Amino acid sequence: MLPRTDTLIDLALEEDAGFGDITSQSIFPVGHSSRAQIVAREQLVVCGLEIARRVFKRYDSSIKIDSAAYDGDRLGKGQTVMVLVGPTISLLTAERTALNFLQRLSGIASLSRRFADAATVADSAVRVVDTRKTTPGWRALEKYAVRCGNCFNHRSSLGEHILIKDNHIAAAGCIHEAVKRTRALAPHTAKIEIEAASMDEIRQALDAGVEVIMLDNMSPSQILEAVALIDKAAIVEVSGGVSLESFAQYALPGVDVISVGALTHSAPAADLSMTISAQQEA
């Protein structure tokens, strides 16, 4: 389990079922049991199976669960993801919370896989990475989903490595001053990355000896110029406005990393549903 997952599950269950499920409790006696299946309603990359399992078990430990897939698997429309047997009230009460986790994370994994496939089609060695544009509290889960989709993670927190952006530069006065201050206080293990929006800023970054240069919202022609200027002296990251449709235009020779905020902030939920069939009353 990822850090704090149980806390998120408890909050979600409390939000949805803190006062019980008046509908299910009105219809079914306590001893009524059912069999349920969670099914993919579209082609997708599944992610969040252990979390969905944990939701059901956290609500009712007597529920029996069999997974029919693994996180990162490509599934076709109609394929079974998970089979559950247990008290009908418990299955129905935990259903939406489990599906919310599963649909959100599978959506991110599916979109990430499409970007990873785009890199393969473009015959590019570029790494597609996410950003910190994540749902508050869900970052570890969403970045896990990105990895399940065969993409990679950028920094997970502000403390992982140094990324000097436009506002840092503006407040410090210039790139050289910002880099000098970070070098004086940063751990020796921390890379220094600069966000550059012009060739002049790239020259300043190179002069300051940074390890990574992020090309911010540059056109493909500007990127080619920047790559030639950097000439392998730093890792080249491209950021801003890269979509699936335009990906090949940015996956250029010399580009090492493309960061895509849409992997997490704009991924549509995957279409999964739970179908249930009554078994018997105790």
Q: Could you list the active site residues?
A: 96, 133, 165, 195, 216
Phi, psi of 281 (to 5 degrees): -100, 140
